Each structure stands twice: as C-alpha cells, then as structure tokens.
Amino acid sequence: MDIIQEIKKLKKQKNAIILGHFYQLPEIQDISDFIGDSLALAQQAEKTEADLIIFAGVSFMAETAKLINPTKKVILPDLNAGCSLADSCPAEDFKNFKVKYPDHLVVSYINTTNAIKALSDIICTSSNALAIINSFPKEQKLIFAPDKNLGNYLNKMTGRNMVVWPGACHVHKRFSLERILQIKEENKEAKIIAHPECEPEVLIVADFIGSTTSLLNFTKKDNSNIFIVATETGILHQMRKSNPGKTFIAAPPDDATCACNDCFFMKLITLEKIYKSLVTENPEITLDIETADKALIPIRRMLDLSEKLGL
Ligand code: 13P
Ligand code: SF4
C-alpha cells in the first residue's frame, strides 16, 4: 500500500484537512495541507471549510482547533502527544497562585490546558506575545503563564514586570550553551537563532530570537550561510527546503547521548497513525463543555486582536 496516496485519497473522500506543526517529522510536514506555527495553525483552523481536521501536532493545538470548531471532528492521531510545558502548570496550583494577585490580568501562552485558558484573560503565542502584551496599558498588572523563559524575555522586551509562572519546556530548557559555542567556534560565520522558550544564557548569545515562523523567515532574509538553530529540530526541514545551499545545524542538548532537542510528544505522530485516524476518524478530541466555553473567550480575544493587528 502506498500510504501517502491512501492518505491523499481519504482526505479527499472525507473532506479532511491535515494541519501540521513545524516540529512534526519531515514526511508529515510534506503531506500536511497547511504547515505553520501555533498561531497560524489556530488561524487556519478558524478558516477551514473541511469537515474533518486531522491535527499533526500536540494536544493543546488540537484542543484549540476544537474550541474554535465545536461542531467539527478534530482528530489527534495519538492522544499521548501532550506537552511538558502545558503539564508544568496544573490548574489547581495556578488557581491558588492567581488569587495572590487579585488586581492582575492573566496572559497565557497557548501551550496550556483548557483549564488554564479558562482562568486567563487573553492567550498569546510566541508570534504575537509582544503585541498582545503591549495592547495592555503600561500600568496594567499582568501574570504571564506558563513559560518562565518566554515570560522573562517578554518582561525584558516590554520593560514590564509581569509575574511569571515558573514553567518550562523540556526541549527548550536543555540546550547546552557550551556545545552551542563550540559549534560557533568551529563555524565562526554561523548565526545563532533561538526560540524565546530557551534559557536566558542561550538567548544572550543569540543573533536572532523569535517564534518558529520568524526564525524561518529570518533564515530566508539573512545573508548568512550557516545557522545554529536553538529550537525543536523539526523546523530544520522547512529551513532546508526554503534555503537550498544554506547549512542548518541543530543546537545540541546538554546530554550528548540523548536526542533531547526532539520533542518526544511531537514525534509520536507518524504517517501510519495519520492514515489510521483518517480511516477510523479517531481518536477524537472531546472537551468538557463548561471549561471549553470559558477557554474560548481568551482564545477569541487573541484571534480578534491578531486579526486587527494584521498578525
Ligand atoms: P510556536 O509554534 O508558536 O513557535 O511555538 C513553539 C512551540 O513550542 C510549540 O510547541
Ligand atoms: Fe510542548 Fe516543548 Fe514539545 Fe512545544 S516543544 S510541544 S512546548 S514540550
């Protein structure tokens, strides 16, 4: 069986769309109808006329697509594709944390559960976080959750003093500054580019910091020929496709024996699981209605503001 042809056939038969994140395996990126970062994927989920959404990504992304499309079937080919960053912010703990700051509004990163979204005033992604935060008056006190590195970076960029939840992503917190600098030493002309979820010591040496989309765009515009990329390795596929002739080196993790710069959760999605989920229309994302109603409000605010700002 030619699995790619079968996937294409089933997609057509069922009016299905595959939405894929940049951290997916190359072969999955290549069969996706749309490939993007978490903001672009949420926007695409809002626009789609497909009846069936196959989400090649992780649970918070598929759940966001379902929040936006409550009447459509949203499938996550492996329900174990979670997110360590979302897990680092349990709802009960966050609720207790939030009561300590009664005059603060909550800006949450999209990498959260719906229970956290339901406790938030607005959602952001790494693509629109600066604009979302700057949309509040300077004197408005804010909590930022759950990524501490992104929150601290945003505080630095905006001159604010947001209270930051101490969460982190297991991939981005493990890049080794020492090993990155060693590669830079061997490739002096290389530019270091990093996602803002990386530790501050990595961000300090980065020539450019941005979301996955802006990192990709930077590699297209910049005239450097070598890039050391400090984010999940999946994005290198798009960088190589968009920039034939340029060299991309995945920033290494602190342990030379592990592939910790691969997101274990993202890599749970395979072509076989996508094929199976198209056949069975399972496993389907289902949401608790009460939580979903509350979680949709800050998601809508993010989408509306992003549209207004042309993001
Ligand atoms: P973006 O897709 O928003 O750049 O976020 C990266 C990420 O960590 C997704 O899991
Ligand atoms: Fe979550 Fe990190 Fe994986 Fe992104 S890379 S899905 S933040 S665990």
Please identify, by atom number, the ligand 2 atom nearest to the C-alpha of residue 264: 3
d(CA 203, CA 76): 32
Let me know if residue 155 belongs to a domain: yes
Let me know how long the chain is: 311
128 Cβ closer than 6 Å to some ligand 1 atom: no
Q: Please tell me the total count of domains within the chain.
A: 3
CA–CA distances in Å: residue 287 to residues 8, 94, 153, 296, 298:
28, 20, 32, 11, 16
Q: Are residues 107 and 156 in the same domain?
A: yes
Let me know if residue 258 belongs to a domain: no
Q: What is the pLDDT of residues 112-135, one digit of tens each?
A: 999 999 999 999 999 999 999 999
- If you measure from the C-alpha of residue 140 to the centroid of ligand 1, how many angstroms do you get, rounded to a whole number? 26
149 Cβ closer than 6 Å to some ligand 1 atom: no
Q: Are residues 95 and 143 in the same domain?
A: yes
Instruction: Check which CATH number belongs to the domain holding 176 and give it.
Output: 3.40.50.10800
pTM given for the model: 0.95
Residues with CB under 6 A from ligand 2: 23, 58, 83-85, 111, 169-171, 232, 263, 265-266
Q: Kindly list the strands in the beta sheet with 191-194, ordered across the sheet, starting from the edge strand earlier in the chain.
A: 208-209, 191-194, 226-230, 247-250
- If you measure from the C-alpha of residue 112 to the centroid of ligand 1, how many angstroms do you get, rounded to a whole number? 12
Q: Are residues 96 and 124 in the same domain?
A: yes
Q: Are residues 211 and 139 in the same domain?
A: no
Please identify, by atom number, the ligand 1 atom nearest to the C-alpha of residue 22: 2
Six-digit token pair at 90?
């349990």
Phi/psi of residue 20, nearest 5 degrees: -120, 140
Q: Which residue, chain included where needed, has tokens 């530790």? A: 199
d(CA 164, CA 145): 6
Query: Which amino acid is present at 74?
Result: V
- If you measure from the C-alpha of residue 267 to the centroid of ligand 2, how many angstroms do you get, rounded to a whole number? 11
Q: Are residues 104 and 161 in the same domain?
A: yes
**DSSP assigned state of 33:** S
Q: Are residues 212 and 278 in the same domain?
A: no
Q: Are residues 187 and 160 in the same domain?
A: no
Q: What is the pLDDT of residues 240-278, one digit of tens each?
A: 999 999 999 999 999 988 888 999 999 999 999 999 999
Let me know if residue 260 belongs to a domain: no
- Tell me which residue range forms the domain holding 95: 85-170+294-308
Q: Are residues 25 and 38 in the same domain?
A: yes
User: Contact 19/41 with Cβ under 8 angstroms?
Assistant: yes
Q: What is the pLDDT of residues 94-107, one digit of tens each?
A: 999 999 999 999 99
Let me know if residue 102 belongs to a domain: yes
Pairs from 233-240 (Cβ < 8 Å, separation ≥ 24): 233/23, 233/259, 233/261, 233/262, 234/21, 234/22, 234/23, 234/24, 234/25, 234/26, 234/29, 234/262, 234/263, 234/266, 235/22, 235/23, 237/26, 237/29, 238/22, 238/29, 238/35, 239/215
Please identify, by atom number, the ligand 1 atom nearest to the C-alpha of residue 266: 10
Q: Are residues 299 and 163 in the same domain?
A: yes
Nearest residue (CA) to ligand 1, atom 2: 37
Six-digit token pair at 73?
């079937």
pLDDT tens-digit profile, the chain (311 residues): 899 999 999 999 999 999 999 999 999 999 999 999 999 999 999 999 999 999 999 999 999 999 999 999 999 999 999 999 999 999 999 999 999 999 999 999 999 999 999 999 999 999 999 999 999 999 999 999 999 999 999 999 999 999 999 999 999 999 999 999 999 999 999 999 999 999 999 999 999 999 999 999 999 999 999 999 999 999 999 999 999 999 999 999 999 888 889 999 999 999 999 999 999 999 999 999 999 999 999 999 999 999 999 99
Q: Are residues 231 and 299 in the same domain?
A: no
